[in-house]
Amino acid sequence: MKSFVSLCWLWTALAAGAEPVASSGNIRDIEPDLAIPDVTIGEPAAGKRVRAVTAGWQRTEASHVLYLPNDWRPGKSYPVLVEYPGNGGYQNELGDTSDGTPESCMLGFGLSGGNGFLWLSLPFVEVTADGSKRNCLQWWGDIDETKRYCTATVQSICERYGGDPSRVVLCGFSRGAIACNYLGLHDDKIAALWCGFFCHSHYDSDVNVSQPDFDPKAAVARLGRLGGRPQWISHEEEVSRVQGFIERSGVTGSFKFVEIPYPNHSSAWILRDNPERAQAREWLWNATKP
């Protein structure tokens, strides 16, 4: 069953008269050249991807996933990729799926190739009626709790594993792409964490869903906190709608718009050798130069 988000994107593109670029077919017909390490339990180490919990949340069900690169060494400094996942419960006829968990993130590994960057996959955190906290699989959960978990975790992994706080890039797919601005630029404190933003497949306010302050006017206000920092903005086959929104907003900055020539609503292209990934890695290198 097609998701509401995909149908909304298609309707908007058709209404605008957009002509998508020619598709090369299902991305899964192309063999990946990267395999993301399995998530394990234990102490972080070079080349390992582990599930962890930030101090202050140990008695909750909230957790994140941390990957230390193959070349990680204690005492050295590394840029950081912080990634949010898409909504859970998603699947389409192309075989694309999303379960909404930090474990499902792909962008950070594809961008880095497993080297040179700390990669942190974060949850959206919800607070249940009885006060317990857990990872939220659809949308934001409790926005304030999600922001607190984010800022505390980024600070912790920078202090413990050599993350350079001046070179932290916020990444996301679908819900996570929207979160780059919706959460990443939600207020001045959290906005100060990032040196750049990597948004794949959707953007703040570009889908019609009922969420707090989720409208073009509020999105422009958040975008005003960008402060000229670079943003990569990509989408399967067509990106002109988001480009038009930013141009109409009047906010100027360093925006890189890229159409991914596959119809898949997925980050799987980043695990394959293609020109778009090469562009993305060049963008990342420029965004995180010391």
Q: What is the pLDDT of residues 92-113, one digit of tens each?
A: 999 999 999 999 999 999 999 9
**104 occurs within a structural domain:** yes
Is 16 contained in some domain? Answer: no
Token reading at 4 = 């509401």
Count Cβ atoms below 10 Å from residue 199 Cβ, excluding itself.
27
With beta carbons less than 8 A apart as the criterion, state whether 276 and 234 touch: yes
Name the burial class of residue 53, with classes exposed (0-12), middle (13-18) and buried (19+) by CB atoms within 10 angstroms of its CB: middle
Average pLDDT over residues 204-226: 92
Of the listed ranges 13-27, 197-211, 268-282, the one predicted with least confidence = 13-27
Q: Is residue 25 part of a domain?
A: no
For the chain, counts of helices (H) and of strands (E): 8, 13
Token pair of 179 as six digits: 């979160």
Provide the pLDDT for residue 50. 98
Domain assignment present for residue 27? The answer is no
For residue 205, name the pLDDT band (cuts at 50, 70, 90). Answer: confident
Calculate mean pLDDT across residues 145-157: 98
Q: What is the pLDDT of residue 8?
A: 37
Mean pLDDT (whole number) for 220-249:
96
Domain count, the chain: 1
Does 141 map to a domain?
Answer: yes
Average model confidence (pLDDT) across the chain? 92
Burial 89-116 (b: 16+ CB within 10 A, else e): ebebebebebebbbbbbbbbbbbbebeb
Q: Tell me how far apart the alpha carbons of residues 197 and 180 are, in angstroms, rounded to a whole number.
A: 6
Q: Is the pLDDT assigned to residue 23 strictly greater than 60?
A: no
Q: Tell me, yes or no, whether 44 lies in a domain.
A: yes
Q: Read off the pLDDT band of 13 (50, 70, 90).
A: very low
Q: Residue 50 forms beta bridges with which residues?
A: 40, 66
Q: How far apart are CA 37 and CA 30, in angstroms?
A: 20
pLDDT at 19: 40
Mean of pLDDT values over 237-254: 95
Residue span of the structural domain in which 81 resides:
37-287
Give domain status of residue 206, yes or no.
Answer: yes
Q: For residue 229, give the CATH number of its domain.
A: 3.40.50.1820
Q: Could you tell me if residue 7 is inside a domain?
A: no
